[in-house]
Amino acid sequence: MMKHIENSLRNILENTPSAGHDVTHSLRVRDLCMHLAHAEGGDIQVLEAAALLHDIGRPAEFRDPAADHAVISAQLAPDILSGAGFPSRKVPAVVYAIQHHRYSSGVLPDTLEARILQDADRLDISGALGAAMTFAYSGALNRNLYHSSDPLAEHRQLDGDTYALDHILSKLLHLPCSMHTVTARMMAEERTRFLDRFVEQLAGEITLCRRQPDE
């Protein structure tokens, strides 16, 4: 059953433009959900199916930026679930978790499974993976690595839509405090400590490059 769902995910996301959110992200989110559920509880079947299918609407959103991939994923999921023989009584819980997986929607999900999926989704963009995915996404959108004269935004507003480093500074370094579950918060804090060190190293290298020879 789950293999069928995973194969559907691969058919939809493999070989499509992903800008860093490729099929491996969905597989890691599934694994993170299983890890979090071990400590926090939740329905394993609902979580695994929701994690595998949560981003299948991304190719549609990539084609039409006005579309919401959470809505599209939730619309596509029931057919895949019924084709896989997934228990029909659990389909609404999967659809709900998918619909509410975007933390940026500002809605606090009602179910434990939806909260765990939100946590796992953001946990996967924290730490080293978060930096890697940010640079991949920024490259796909032709964004700059950092602001040329004020890389750390000491004298300007952060602009994560224009500079990859700004996205890390404004969003990724603050992910731990947005986690719903204790387990996810602890994991995010550990990953973010690495990201802090990465930014420190990056800033040092940028500063050295910008220094004049006679300084």
Report the SS3 class of residue 163.
strand
Does residue 43 belong to the site contacting Fe ion (CB under 5 A)?
Answer: no
Label residue 162 exposed, middle or buried (CB < 10 Å: 0-12, 13-18, 19+).
middle
Return the residue of 43, 55, 61, 119 that touches Fe ion, per CB under 5 A: 55
* Closest-CA residue to 134 (of 104, 160, 159): 160
Q: How far apart are CA 61 and CA 49, in angstroms?
A: 21
Q: Which is nearer to Fe ion, 23 or 165 (CB)?
A: 23
Q: Which is nearer to Fe ion, 22 or 55 (CB)?
A: 55
Residue type (1 letter), 100? H
Q: How far apart are CA 107 and CA 60, in angstroms?
A: 23
At closest approach, how far in Å is the CB of 14 from Fe ion? Answer: 16
Supply 172's token pair: 């990724």
Q: Which is nearer to Fe ion, 24 or 145 (CB)?
A: 24
At closest approach, how far in Å is the CB of 27 from Fe ion? Answer: 11
DSSP state of 21: -
Q: Which is nearer to Fe ion, 70 or 164 (CB)?
A: 70
Q: Which of residues 68-127 bind Fe ion (CB under 5 A)?
A: 121
Per rule CB under 5 A, count of chain residues that contact Fe ion = 2
Q: Site residues (CB under 5 A) for Fe ion?
A: 55, 121
